[in-house]
Structure formats: structure tokens, C-alpha cells
Amino acid sequence: MKPLHNPEKTSFASDNYAGVHPEILAALAAANGGHVGAYGNDPYTQQLQEIIKREFGEQAEAWPVWNGTGANVLALQACLPRWGAVICAESAHINVDESTAPQAVGGFKLWTIATADGKLTPELISREAHGYGFEHRAQPLVVSITQSTELGTVYTSEEIRAISAYCREQGIVLHMDGARLANAAAALGVSLREITTDAGVDILSFGGTKNGLLFGECVVVLNPRKVSDGLIYLRKLNLQLASKMRFLSAQFIALLEDGLWLKSARQANAMAARLVQGLQQIEGVALVYPPQANGVFVRLPNGVAGKVREHTAFYDWDNEGTVRLMCSFDTHEEDVDALLQAIRAAIEAV
């Protein structure tokens, strides 16, 4: 097939725009050929279970799924009764970007909280953690935090532990949307386990697509006592059971086995840091949120964004002129430098 795009062209729109890491493609090729069992009855999914236990603890269980929305809905549904609700940040992906899937498919309500930086705290959570036993209010039984957040900020291990302690006191399950967990761990210089299992997270949506996978996320049960044993049925009910699961599992094996997740996340984070350093030297450009992982949020002078888009893609973030510039595993120094030059040229032209 003839390529329908320029494979040399990159952008700063989303880490979902990036292609597949070559090592992931190699893993898919290695898993191909011949016949093996379907629906997870294959050696790759069995091996993935061992690797997940190595990374997250002996109690951890891996449930590969198709996509991020499916992972979040499935994980939350596995922790809630029909009358349950989830407390999350107003900016959370499950509230802003997943349409009505949490409510329509998951069947649960979201209690949202406005935050300054995308991060929840015990004090913020307490605003919605009430009404227990009141039959007219959906019961807040799960807290969902995002690591790194939709605003590019990162929870420290201590901050997650504080939230976990509060959740335990209230009898609340703690879920983590870890679509960019790798970037957060790389930014903090910690292992995946340190900011999940060891910090008191009960269930995790572990992202792969934003870190070089072709497709696939993984629900990781970190505390089986807090999660329904019906997850095996819920995955099928939610259309997240892959028949050829070996190709989901093989990708996560390649991501986790020899530290590819960390190498890729470090590259994306480093390019974001380079971008921030350059932006800080351009007059008229203002950083909006603390850039802590691979996402950079800035306000450009009026008329500049449109001119820069002639060179590369990126998203408007709000109605106040904020744009999001996202770096990926395949972002390179020359890409960042070209973007900075385009911004300088656009400012001079307006």
C-alpha cells in the first residue's frame, strides 16, 4: 500500500498522533504466525501476568483491553454497585473527553471538583464525599485521579498516599487513570509501583497507546479485595475482550520487559523540557500550568496560533487562548527547535 501521509512529519497535537514504536512493531511480528489460543488463552497473555506482577506486586492482575475509555469504564464499573458514584477532577478525562460512556455504559454518576492544577487533595475530595445512606444521592464510593493529569501536572508519591489514606478512612476505592503513568514515573524518577501499589492505589488503567503501542490499554487490579470478582464478565459485557489477545499482550510485554516504557517516556518528557526552556525565552508567551511531564500549556499572543498551525498541529485548550503542545516518544530536538522558530517568526509577523 502506498503511504497516504508524510511519515517524516510530526506534530504537537497529541501523543495519540504518534506512530508505533519500532520495538512494538517487532513484538507484534514476533507474536504473529501459527495458531494459539484465543481470548487470552495464549502464552503471551500468561507471560504478561508475570511481568505485571514484577512491576506492580505479586497480587496484581492484568486485564488487557482495547482502549482508554474502555479501560476506565471497566475499572470503575468493577468497583461500584449500581448506585455508586465516582469523585474526580472537573478536568478529568472521564468527565471531559469520554462523552457519556461513564454514565451510559458504566452506569455510574460523576461528582466533579474544580481544581487549580488538575490534582485532587483529601480536602477537595471531602467536598463531595458525603451523603452516605441518603437514598436520593448517588453514593461516592470511588475516587479517580489521573497521572499525569490532563493539565500536565504530576502527583507525587506523598500526595497519592495522602489521598489513599483519606479513601481508606471513608471506605472509598482509589482508581488511577494512568494513560500517561509512564511519563509521570519518568518525571518523578520512581518505579511504576512506587506511585501505584505502594502509594495505595486499588485499581489502575495503565496506558499503552500514548507511549508507543499500536492499540491497547491494560486494567491492572492492584488490590483484589476492593474489586469485583466479576471483572472477567464485565470485560466481555463492555466489548473489551479481544479475541486475538496475544497482540495486546505482546505489546505490553515489549513495553515493560526491558524498560522501553521508561526510555520512551523520558524522551517525551525531555523534549517537553526543551520546549519549555525555549518558550520561556520568547517575549509574550506565558506558561499556564507547571510543565511537569510531556504536556506544555501556554498562551500565545493574539494571532500567533493560526500562523504557527501552518507548520504543525496542536490543540486549543480553552476559550482564553491557551494551547496544548504535547511531546511524544518520537519527538526530537529538531522538531522542538522548528516549533520554537515558527512561534518566533509568527510573533514577529503579527
**What are 125-160's pLDDT values in tens digits?**
999 999 999 999 999 999 999 999 999 999 999 999
| 208 and 284 housed in the same domain | no
DSSP assignments along 76-138, one per residue: HHTT--TTEEEEEETT-HHHHTSTTHIIIII--EEEEE--SSS---HHHHTTTS--TT-TTS-
What whole-number distance in Å separates Cα of residue 196 and Cα of residue 248?
22
Q: Residue 197 is part of a domain; what is its CATH number? A: 3.40.640.10
| 118 and 242 housed in the same domain | yes
Q: Residue 281 is part of a domain; what is its CATH number? A: 3.90.1150.10
Residues 206-247 have pLDDT tens digits of 999 999 999 999 999 999 999 999 999 999 999 999 999 999
DSSP-derived 3-state class of residue 47: helix
The residue to which cell 468497583 is assigned: 79
User: Distance between the two ends of the chain, CA-based, in angstroms?
Assistant: 42
Q: What is the pLDDT of residue 282?
A: 96
Q: What is the pLDDT of residue 319?
A: 85
| 210 and 311 housed in the same domain | no
33, with CB counted inside 10 A (0-12, 13-18, 19+), is exposed
- Within a domain: residue 222? yes
Q: Which of 259, 291, 324 finishes a domain?
A: 259
The domain tally of the chain equals 2
Taking the chain (350 residues) in runs of 10, the rounded mean pLDDT of each run is 93 96 98 98 98 98 98 98 97 97 96 97 98 98 98 98 98 98 98 98 98 97 96 96 98 98 98 98 95 97 94 93 96 98 94
Q: What is the pLDDT of residue 211?
A: 96
| 166 and 310 housed in the same domain | no
Range of the domain at 280: 261-349
